[in-house]
Structure formats: structure tokens, C-alpha cells
Chain A
Amino acid sequence: MKEFMFIIRGGEDKYRNNSPEEMQKHMQHWQQWMGGLAKSEQLVGGQPLMSEAKTLTEGGKKVTDRPFAEGKELVGGYLIIRADSLDHAAKVAKDCPSFEYGCSVEVREISPME
């Protein structure tokens, strides 16, 4: 099994305007999806990220009080899972609840230590 990172981007606007009921339904969905991954021992971990950010450029000399991306490109969270291959990991990512918020999910294999 290899490890893959899901980088979840976007969805901020919709997330902010959500009703508590929608929110709860969404969280239940996360619960089911991640619960399934945990049960099949595919889940390594994952957290939503705070939206505040600082971006360092120019060799670390310049610090900007924002993420280095457009709003819809903002990384909202990450997840690390186990899968056999990149294709397999992409298949797993298809059910990610973040799509309900119009997010994109980038799937990248984590380079194994050798």
C-alpha cells in the first residue's frame, strides 16, 4: 500500500452560507465516508485547514497576510489515505464529501522513503 495526499481546494463561499441543518448533513457525510476508510484501514489522517495564512516570498523576506491563491484555489484541507495505486486513490477520492461544496480534490502520491 502506498500513501496519497488529497489536497482539497475551494468551497469557502458555499461553506460560509450554509444552514446548520445542511452543515450537519454534510458532517454526517464526512463521518460515513471517513468511517468507511478507517474501517478498511485506508485512513491515515486529515484535517481541515484554517483560512488565515501568511505567504513568504523573496527568499523569506516578504511576508504577505494571505494565501498565495485565488479564493476558489484556497486549500481548505487535506487527507492522507492508503491505496494501491494513483488510480485506486483517485477512485477513493470520487466520494469525497467536499464535492458538495464545489471543491476540487488533487490526488498526489506521497513519495515513499527508501
Chain B
Amino acid sequence: MENRDHIDHTLNHLFRQESGKMVSVLIKIFGIENIELAEDVVQDALVKALETWKFRGMPDNPRAWLYRTAKNKAIDIIRHNKHSRVIDFSDPEKQLLTSGYTLATTMDNYWQEQHIKDDFLGMMYACCHPDISQENQITFILKALCGFSTKEVARSFLSNEDTISKRLYRTKEYFRKRKIRPVIPTSDEINPRTKTVLNAIYLMFNEGYNSTHADQLIRKDLISQAMFLCKSLLSEKRTQLPEVYALMGLMCFHASRINSRLTEEGRLILLSEQDRTTWDTELIQSGEQYLNKAAFGDELSTYHLEAAIAYQHCCAKKYADTNWEMILEYYELLLKIANDPIVFLNRCLVILELKGPKKALIALENMKSNRLLEKYYLYHAILGEIYQQLEDNSVAVTYYQKAIELTHSKQERQFLKDKIARISK
């Protein structure tokens, strides 16, 4: 039975890393209009691996095994569809798939490492086409590039399978109608297009990092898949941009602290109380390396600054050592680039830390009329904290209660309830 678990585990991991690449190559072969066909071939390869490996054990090179199986299946499909109109063979390269003289060699050429990499990245850019909504971008990335089943995508969005299927369908229709070609953009387009891709990756990561809910497995998967996609961008010269390095660094810093954020019972632990010995030093070191590599070019992105802030937390031996002045400076810079209410709120927290509740309250009051903030639990939670520090407990409780109403996270609610209980004693 242990063998079975081992196979399941290896295959699951392998599948998350490889299915997107296989789908991308197959889409190149069959055409973007045949995404389902590509997904079916990859699914078949997975099922075949499960069945075969169970009886004969794992092959020496499981990745090569999967690729070969998918490749053979693709050859079968081409033979079957040679005279149908399902696959468009008019492209000269694809025409060679229709002859016995050249089918096998042409097929092999499609599966060369460099081509696999290019197709995968090309597909990432296609998924993040600016005309596709962010929600749909991420949904499609998870399904087509990260090997998530529709059910898993639904769970990771706290949504239902029906909604996810509809989103996937819409994106596929868009690809078909617009004949979007999965290619890495040309050098004059690569910067703006990469921004959209990074945005999707970052949202995916946040989805995994911030909303804590019962299904930890999927959540950690979202984090590791976001980092995997970003790393893929860094593996190719054309997409080794400063922002990409910065985002990678940022994700490493955040991911390093992942295991110290919750108690075993699932309660939130504040940064000041986290056990810093549980932070992943290897990830922090990788993060530093990425951040160093991000320091070229002439653009300072939000990722650079957010990574710099996260780094300040990671390198402080204890909470009291935190360099809040430096962090405040980074927040000021961030606000200049992106006038984001969430950034503003976080800056208020730094002011609270550095200059006390009165100054923090003044800063917050400047934003009182912001509708978005009014609906955001953190805004009220911070006001609660400020009033608690000003020793106005009844006002503090009112704000905490308002915050509880606004968050869907069980952990955050519990955390705020605990605070109320403590000051009401």
C-alpha cells in the first residue's frame, strides 16, 4: 500500500509540473481550437501512468515516460484525423505530420526541451491575454497549466464547479474566435504583457497565502504553483525581467513564513508573536538572491518595494529588531507608484508601530471617505486596535465587531473575537 501512496504522490507532483507543458505542446500540434483534445491526451497519459505503474512499478524516468505516452497518443490522434477537418494541417510544419515519411520525426521535434519551454511560456501569455478578465485568467491557468481539475479550481476559489466550467468555456471560446496564438510576445510587447502575467501569478499566490480556509492542501498548492510559474518565466532569457525577479523574491519571503502563521488549531498568530525559528531560511536566502538580481533596469516596481518590505521582516532576528523607519520609507514610495487603499492601510499600521495611535488615527482619518475601505475588514480592525491602544475600549469593540461582520475568514473572525474577549474582561 505504501508503494501505491508513493506512486500517487510522485505522480501528483509530476503532474502539476508537467501537465501544463504537455498541454501547451499538444495545443501547438493540434491548434488552439482543439484545447480539449490536448487536455484529453494529457489526462489519458496520467490515467495510463497510474494503471501501469501500479503493476510494474515506477519507470526510471517518469517524466520521459509521461511525455512518450502523450506523444504516442498524439500520433494516434493525427492518424485518425488525417482526413477530417478537426486538425488544420495547412501550416508547412504541420503538413509534415500527415506523411509517414516525416510524422515521427516532426512529432519528436515538437517535444524538444526548448520548444516545450517556449510553448509553455507562450501559453502563459495566451492565458493572461489583457482582454480576458483576471478571474478567468487565473481559472484557466490553474486548469490548463497547473493540472488542477475543475473541482480543485472550484475549491481553490471557494466556488462551485458549474461556475468554473462556465468560465473555462468562455475563455476557450475566446481563444477559438480570436485565434489567439500561444507565443512569447515580441520584445516591444514583452514588458506590458509580462505585467499582466505577473499580476495573475501574484493574485494566485495571494489567494493561497491570505485566505485561510480548511482545505490547506489546495492552498499550499496554489502557492507552489504560483512560484513554479514565476520560476518558469525566469528560466527563459527573454522573460528575465527585473519585475519577475522581484516578484519571485517577494513570494519566497512570504512563503518562508507560511508555517508560523497559524496555530495547530488554526488560529492566526500575529507577526510579533510568530516563532521566527520556524521560518524557512533557505527560502529567505533564495529570496535575497532573487531580489539582488531584480536590481537592474530603470523601473522600480511595486514588487520590488513589497519584496523589500517583506525582506525587512525576514531579516529581523526578533520583532523588536524590525526596521520600521525603513519599512515606512518603502510604503511612502509604494504609495507614490500605486495609490492603493490597502497599501495605505498597511502604512497606517507602520505609523501605529512607529509613532503611536494618535498619529495613526490622524493618518487614517484622511481616508475616511473611501468607500472601498469602509467595506474592508482590516480598516475596521486597525481602527479597533488604535482605539484599544488609546484605551477607548467601547469604541474599539464596536470597530472589531464591524470587522467581524466583514470578513469571511473563520480564522480572522476568531482572532478578532479573542481580542474583544480580552479587553472586555
Q: Interface of A with B (CB < 8 Å)? A: 27-28, 30-31, 34-35, 38-39, 41, 43, 45-48, 77, 79
Select which of A28, A43, A77 is within 8 A of B95 by beta carbon: A43
Question: Which B residues touch A43, using CB under 8 A?
Answer: 92, 95
Which residues of B (68-106) have their CB < 8 Å from a CB of A?
A: 92-93, 95-96, 98-102, 104-106
B101-123 vs A, CB cutoff 8 Å, 1 = contact: the mask equals 11011100100000000000000
Chain A residues near B93 (CB, 8 Å)? 35, 38
Do B96 and A34 touch across chains, with their CB atoms under 8 A apart? yes
CA distance in complex: A43, B90 (Å): 11
Contacts of B96 in A (CB 8 A): 31, 34-35, 38
Question: B92–A48 contact, CB under 8 A?
Answer: no
B98: chain A residues at CB < 8 Å are: 45
**Complex Cα gap A48–B96 (Å):** 13
Check A34–B102 contact: CB distance below 8 A. yes
Would you give the shortest CB distance from A84 to chain B, in whole angstroms? 19
Listed by A's residue number, 17 A-B pairs whose Cβ atoms lie within 8 Å are A27-B102, A27-B104, A27-B105, A30-B101, A31-B102, A31-B106, A31-B109, A34-B96, A34-B102, A35-B96, A35-B102, A38-B92, A47-B100, A47-B101, A48-B100, A48-B101, A79-B101
CB-nearest residue of chain B to A8: B101
Complex Cα distance A102/B369, Å? 87
Chain B residue numbers with a CB within 8 Å of A41 are 92
Q: Which of B95, B96, B101 has the most CB of A within 10 A?
A: B101
Known contacts A39-B92, A41-B92: A34-B99 contact under CB 8 Å: yes
Q: Are B92 and A46 in contact (CB under 8 A)?
A: no
CA distance A48 to B100 in the complex (A): 6
Cα–Cα distance between A27 and B103 once the two chains are bound (Å): 9
Decide if B105 touches A28 in the complex (CB within 8 Å).
yes
Interface pair A45/B99, CB less than 8 Å apart: yes
Whether the pair B95, A46 counts as a contact (CB closer than 8 A) is no
Secondary structure at chain B's binding surface: helix, strand, loop or mixed? helix
Interface extent on B, as a size class? 10 to 19
Task: Give Cα A26 to B102, complex, Å.
Answer: 10
In whole angstroms, what is the CA distance A39 to B100 when docked?
18
A35 to B95 CA separation, bound complex (whole angstroms)? 9
Q: How many Å from the CB of A108 to the closest CB on chain B?
A: 19
Say which residue of B95, B105, B109 sits within 8 Å of A38 (CB atoms).
B95
The residue in chain B whose Cβ has the minimal distance to the Cβ of A38 is B92
Complex CA–CA separation, A35 to B94 (angstroms): 10
Which residues of the other chain, A, contact B100 by a CB distance below 8 angstroms? 47-48, 77
Q: Cβ of B109: which chain A residues have Cβ within 8 Å of it?
A: 31
Cα of A107 to Cα of B101 in the assembled complex, Å: 18
| Chain B residues whose CB sits within 8 angstroms of the CB of A39 once the complex forms | 92
CA distance A79 to B99 in the complex (A): 9
Residues of B within 8 Å of A30, CB to CB, are 101-102, 105
Q: Report A-chain residues with C-beta under 8 Å of the C-beta of B95.
A: 38, 43
Q: Are A46 and B105 in contact (CB under 8 A)?
A: no
Q: Which residue of B lies closest to A41 (CB)?
A: B92
> Which of A30, A46, A79 lies at the interface centre, i.e. has the most chain B CB atoms within 10 A of its CB?
A30
Chain A residue, CB-CB nearest to B104: A27
- Nearest CB to that of A24 among chain B residues? B105
The residue in chain A whose Cβ has the minimal distance to the Cβ of B94 is A38
Q: How far apart are the CA atoms of A79 and B101 in the complex, in Å?
A: 10
Specify which of A27, A48, A77 lies most central, judged by the most chain B CB atoms within 10 Å of its CB.
A27
Q: Chain B's nearest CB lies how many Å from the CB of A75? A: 14
Q: Which residues of B sit under 8 angstroms from A47, Cβ to Cβ?
A: 99-101
Chain B, range 180-203, C-beta contacts under 8 Å to A = none
**Cα-based distance from A37 to B240 in the complex (angstroms):** 37
* Cα–Cα distance between A31 and B101 once the two chains are bound (Å): 7
CB distance from A47 to the nearest CB of B (A): 5
Q: Bound complex: CA of A105 vs CA of B115, how far in Å?
A: 35
Chain B residues whose C-beta falls within 8 Å of the C-beta of A28 in the assembled complex: 105
Cβ of A77 and Cβ of B92 under 8 Å apart? Answer: no
Most buried by A among B93, B99, B106, B109: B99
Shortest distance from the beta carbon of B82 to any chain A beta carbon, whole Å? 10
Closest 5 pairs (CB-CB, A-B):
A38-B92, A31-B105, A30-B101, A38-B95, A27-B105
Q: How far is the CB of A25 from chain B (nearest CB, A)?
A: 10
A43 CB to nearest B CB, Å? 6
A49: nearest chain-B partner, CB-CB: B100
Closest chain B residue to A98, Cβ basis: B101
